[in-house]
Structure 1
Amino acid sequence: MRERIFAAIARRFPTELVGTNRFVAGLWRILFYLFRPQKPFIMRTRHYRLRAHPRKGTLTRVVLRRGCWEARETDFFISQLKPGGFVVDAGANFGHYTLVASNIVGAEGLVVAFEPFPANHALLMENVDLLPTKNVVAEQAGLAATSGALDLIIDEANPGGHSFNPDLIWKQGSKVSVPIYALDDYIRERGINRRLDVLKSDTQGYEWQLISGARKTILRDKPLVLCEVAPKALKAIGDSHEDLLRFFEEAGYSMLMVDRSRDELMPLGYEALKLHLAETGREFEDVIFLPPAGASEARLDGIPDQR
């Protein structure tokens, strides 16, 4: 009975305001801790509906508490989407960026989401099923430099930390063999005859592997690329953030980094960003690579001039 009552409350409560309205957020927390739901329920965010899992172990619990996921990055992501667009979401997890993109690119658009971890892929599918428009292909697979298969190692301490490299795991669990694709191969083999507009990467140190397998597509289509760059994780698998940045610099891209201390997007040149990534104590930084042709067309309101 308690679960049904809370699910009914969640259907009517303005959960889309939890991230922006303190009163609504406070009342939501009171209701949550009063009923203490244990089963998943449907809630609304600003941009989509999702099946929120109240127990620890999934990233949907973060959305349940905060009402949003990566608000600054999401606002910029949305500003760059358009109806009919083609988006690839690598490391989709429960599907935040996939769900956001689906509702904007619409019926004529396409979103391809890659999530290799079976449990997270199941969450992704639950949320994709809630979408009003059926424009998402959700692959239980990863992206890398070449196509094939790899053992994915489960991180029992971090629901977003599953990795192909054991050195990157906080608490190592079991392994599962998953298919991997080079994005160039995937697009060619699936006969996708679209220009890639946006590529989002959250791949736990495999970002250079992903980019290496997508070279042809990136150089041909010049998509906007939102990429979590993890210097130590890259180094742990024998890659480097220098190679990653050099590829985009030589392709004519410019770069923005999410400055969390000031909650803004900060333009950085190649050398400045390379130095920052070498010295930062943070596990990762969120970097946006702006294509040469699209940089002048991108909506960059509120971003300061490069220093």
Structure 2
Amino acid sequence: MLSKILKWVWDKLSKEKQDRITKILDNSASFRNLVSILRPNIVDVKGNKMYIDPKRNPAIALYDIGGYENAETQLFERHIKDGDVVLDLGANIGYFTLIAAKLVGVNGKVYAFEPDPTNFSFLKKSVEINNYKNVICEQKAVSNENGKLKLFLHKFQTGAYTIVGGGSNYVEVETVKLDEYFKDKNSKVDVIKMDIEGAEGLALEGMQNILSVNKNIKVFSEIMPTQLEKTRINGENYLNMLTYLGFNIYEIIEEKNKSNLKLINPSQFKEFVKEKIVTNIFCTK
């Protein structure tokens, strides 16, 4: 009953207010402590079991009242079919990985890349408890070359770890260039989801061949201009790169609990990145 009441209240809020509340709760030590007491360490995600640490991942506690990546999830589900190959870049603890694994079925495959050791352990446990044999988990950060880099850790938000940040709190992680990774594998890729905190442009540089040979490939990407600015590929450059590769770019907008798409014309790129703090885009050829 409480869950239904909370869902009703949540649905009345605008997307902007939902995002603001989620961010506040993510950074609230008191909320983290409360959630760690009240929530189990396994939640149901679209019929999948997913391991979480409520204290580390408080935003997921809002999942069962409809407060977690609604628009993106709807669109993601709509564009994945049986037999597809999906790349989850920045898989975190496995939310989109598990959804994709169920949708692609035994004839498909999901490659989940997550560099953070703790997030990766939760990802692996969730894949194993659901007995998915079609998921390959890689503890690596996706970039434009193979090597090693520092992964800078956020004090509270486990989804905000980045290889383009700074600070004294970091772990060293392996990086992977996807064109190299798939060189000796079947290069068929149908869907890519990227949420890698400003390293999206670097990842894009490292998958030029994949994006060229797969004519019907679709890309879901978070875009955070302030993070992208920390690399030589800023937000405007990132969108121009996608356009050069033949993509039409749409902003994913949630309206009345449904996902809608708004086309972003190249002439609008400069203004678009100026206006946005963080948003999600969908790219299709």
- Band of TM-score, shorter chain: 0.7 to 0.9
Q: Give the drift of 1:287.
A: 0.8
Which of 64, 89, 93 aligns to 2:61? It is 64
TM-score, normalising length: structure 2:
0.81
SS of equivalent to 1:286: strand
Q: How do residues 14-53 of structure 1 correspond to structure 2 at under 5 angstroms?
A: 22=8, 37=37, 40-53=40-53
Unaligned runs of 5+ in 2: 12-32
Structure 1 residue 141 and structure 2 residue 135: aligned?
A: no
Shift in alpha-carbon separation, 1:152–1:34, aligned structure 2, 3 A: closer
Q: How do residues 163-242 of structure 1 correspond to structure 2 at under 5 angstroms?
A: 163-167=162-166, 172=167, 174-188=169-183, 191-222=184-215, 223-242=217-236
Q: Give the drift of 1:65.
A: 2.5
Shift in alpha-carbon separation, 1:19–1:200, aligned structure 2, 3 A: farther
Q: Give the drift of 1:269.
A: 1.3
Which amino acid in the other structure matches residue 62 of structure 1? A
Q: Give the drift of 1:239.
A: 1.8
State the distance in 1 between where 2:36 and 2:87 align. 36
Which amino acid in the other structure matches residue 59 of structure 2? V
Query: Is the Cα–Cα contact under 8 Å of residues 164 and 199 in structure 2 kept in the other structure?
Result: no
State the distance in 2 between where 1:34 and 1:213 align. 42
Q: Please give the root-mean-square deviation of Cα atoms over the aligned residues, in Å.
A: 2.8
Shift in alpha-carbon separation, 1:35–1:87, aligned structure 2, 3 A: closer
Structure 1 residue 265 and structure 2 residue 261: aligned?
A: yes
Cα shift readout 1:42-98 (whole Å, capped 9, x = no counterpart)? 2213342212323x222xx32223325311111111111111110000000011111
SS of equivalent to 2:107: coil
Structure 1 residue 275 and structure 2 residue 271: aligned?
A: yes
Query: Is the Cα–Cα contact under 8 Å of residues 106 and 133 in structure 1 kept in the other structure?
Result: no
Q: Which residue of 2 aligns with 1:11?
A: none
Which amino acid in the other structure matches residue 246 of structure 1? N
Q: Give the drift of 1:157.
A: 2.7
Query: Is the Cα–Cα contact under 8 Å of residues 52 and 64 in structure 1 kept in the other structure?
Result: no
Query: Is the Cα–Cα contact under 8 Å of residues 148 and 179 in structure 1 kept in the other structure?
Result: yes
Cα shift readout 1:114-172 (whole Å, capped 9, x = no counterpart)? 000111111111211122431111111011011111111211132111112334xxxx4
SS of equivalent to 1:37: helix
Q: How do residues 111-150 of structure 1 correspond to structure 2 at under 5 angstroms?
A: 111-150=110-149
Which amino acid in the other structure matches residue 218 of structure 1? L
Q: Give the drift of 1:274.
A: 3.4
Q: Which residue of 2 aligns with 1:73?
A: 72
Q: Which residue of 2 aligns with 1:102?
A: 101
The higher radius of gyration belongs to: 1
TM-score, normalising length: structure 1:
0.76
Cα shift readout 1:174-193 (whole Å, capped 9, x = no counterpart)? 321111111100111xx321
State the distance in 1 between where 2:191 and 2:226 align. 25
Q: Give the drift of 1:36.
A: 6.7
State the distance in 1 between where 2:180 and 2:4 align. 41
Cα shift readout 1:219-276 (whole Å, capped 9, x = no counterpart)? 1114100011111111122221222212221222111102357763212212224321
Which amino acid in the other structure matches residue 41 of structure 1? N
SS of equivalent to 1:166: coil
Which amino acid in the other structure matches residue 44 of structure 2? R
Aligned length: 258
Query: Is the Cα–Cα contact under 8 Å of residues 19 and 66 in structure 1 kept in the other structure?
Result: no
Which amino acid in the other structure matches residue 283 of structure 2? F
State the distance in 2 between where 1:237 and 1:251 align. 20
Shift in alpha-carbon separation, 1:279–1:43, aligned structure 2, 3 A: closer
SS of equivalent to 1:155: coil
Q: Which residue of 1 aligns with 2:238?
A: 244
The sequence identity of aligned pairs, in percent, is 25
Q: Which residue of 2 aligns with 1:86?
A: 85
